[in-house]
Amino acid sequence: MTTSFYVHIPYCIKRCGYCDFNTYTPSELQDGATLEIVSNDYIDAVLKELNAAPLDEVPTIFFGGGTPSLLPADDLGRVIAAIKVRNGLAPDCEITLEANPDSVTAQKLARYLEVGFNRISFGMQSAKPHVLATLDRTHNPENVKRAVDMARAAGFKSISVDLIYGTPGESLDDWRETVENALALDIDHISAYALIVETGTKLAAQIKRGDLTMPDDDLMADMYLLVDELCEARGFTWYELSNWAKPGHECRHNIAYWKNNNWWGLGPGAHSHIDGKRFWNVKHPTAYKEKLFNNQTPIHESEVLTKEQVASESIMLGIRMREGLAVSMLEPRQLELLGAYRENGYVELVEDRVLLTPVGRLIADRIVREITF
């Protein structure tokens, strides 16, 4: 048995207008505080939580956020070192750092490698300044190439960029330019996510007021099919609904999620899944630290998955993957429902496996809803 670790770093310099993640700026936590003051005992709390996790060998570690690259490499390295001593790392353990292109330097990148990171994922989102402005992103698009080149020169063997499509005001040509810019970088992996407008965000308020208008479904579909076409043409193979990679550079940490393997989430609001039990921590960093420093569990709530939930989630997650679903996982009723989608070109049957076609991926959620309820 193995257990992957997700390490949540809940700090950002500025909150982006579309962001609904569990992140906090220094001013949201403590008036006038610097990031160093806010986070200086955070790693201590994370290491205390680690003591409750299983002792299994670790195949992947992923530092997400927030903006993990805001923290010094040595602080993050303390977590990697502790996991290595306590659990042991698999010989090919994948250790990923999410990074803002503006927050890295050649020196920081070299140090991240020294403390154990071997994969880095930059938040690029778009190559178009007007799209970044709508998203409230702070980085200069030219810094993405600079950051990628520095990461490669430092010695990172696997580099990814994250993109977002469907921003208000973004045209298909804007999106094409973004994807082509990304593919021109020295990278091995691309994630491309449709923008989701979350209630309570600045972007949601702008749309509600009528200041911005979301693109229609047809444009969103065209954007997805375009990124798939451009990636495949450049040797980036689709392996999950929103992810493309060169051979051998798939994100193994995310694959562990999609296969419902065991993982432990360290940090406020982090979710975990261990042997069919799901649980998640208190959301606020202050409450998280207080509980751990008072020798209390930071777990907020938990649930034990039923056999039906496990089966349903296996279908929901498995159909997102390139290898699709084994026919043996499906009941006759479900296969009958999928037959209609096969006739209409949304799924195909290949060697006793059900696979989504590119247009089928556009309606993956609808297909899952229909066959699991």
Return the percentage of the chain with pLDDT > 90, whole number.
74
pLDDT of residue 65: 87
Say yes or no to pLDDT of 21 above 80: no
> Looking at residue 136, which CATH number applies to its domain?
3.20.20.70
Q: How confident is the model at residue 196 (pLDDT cuts 50, 70, 90)?
A: confident
In a domain, 136, yes or no: yes
When pLDDT is averaged across residues 254-266 and rounded to a whole number, the result is: 96
Say yes or no to pLDDT of 18 above 60: no
pLDDT of residue 204: 62
Q: Which domain holds residue 158?
A: 4-258
Same domain, 133 and 224: yes
Say yes or no to pLDDT of 152 above 70: yes
- Single out the residue in 258, 275, 307 at which a domain terminates: 258
Contact 168, 214 (CB under 8 A): yes
Q: Using one digit for the tens of pLDDT, what is the confidence trace for 266-288?
A: 999 999 999 999 999 999 998 99
Say yes or no to pLDDT of 248 above 80: yes
pLDDT of residue 15: 65
What's the mean per-residue pLDDT of the chain?
A: 91
- Single out the residue in 258, 279, 301 at which a domain terminates: 258
Return the percentage of the chain with pLDDT > 70, whole number.
90
In a domain, 289, yes or no: no
Long-range contacts (CB closer than 8 Å, 24 or more residues apart) made by 234-242: 234/183, 236/183, 236/189, 236/190, 237/322, 238/322, 239/321, 239/322, 240/320, 240/321, 240/322, 241/320, 241/361, 241/364, 242/191, 242/192, 242/193, 242/194
- Of 124-138, 143-157, 257-271, 311-325, the one with minimum mean pLDDT is 124-138
Q: How confident is the model at residue 27 (pLDDT cuts 50, 70, 90)?
A: low
- Of 58-67, 200-209, 291-300, the one with minimum mean pLDDT is 200-209
Cα–Cα dist 252/256, whole Å: 6
In a domain, 229, yes or no: yes
> What's the predicted TM-score (pTM) here?
0.93
In a domain, 87, yes or no: yes
> Which value, in Å, is the radius of gyration of the alpha carbons in the chain?
21
In a domain, 72, yes or no: yes
pLDDT of residue 79: 97
The count of structural domains within the chain is 2
211's tokens: 């200041």
Q: Using one digit for the tens of pLDDT, what is the confidence trace for 321-345?
A: 999 999 999 999 999 999 899 999 9
Say yes or no to pLDDT of 210 above 80: no
pLDDT of residue 254: 97
pLDDT of residue 96: 98
pLDDT of residue 35: 59
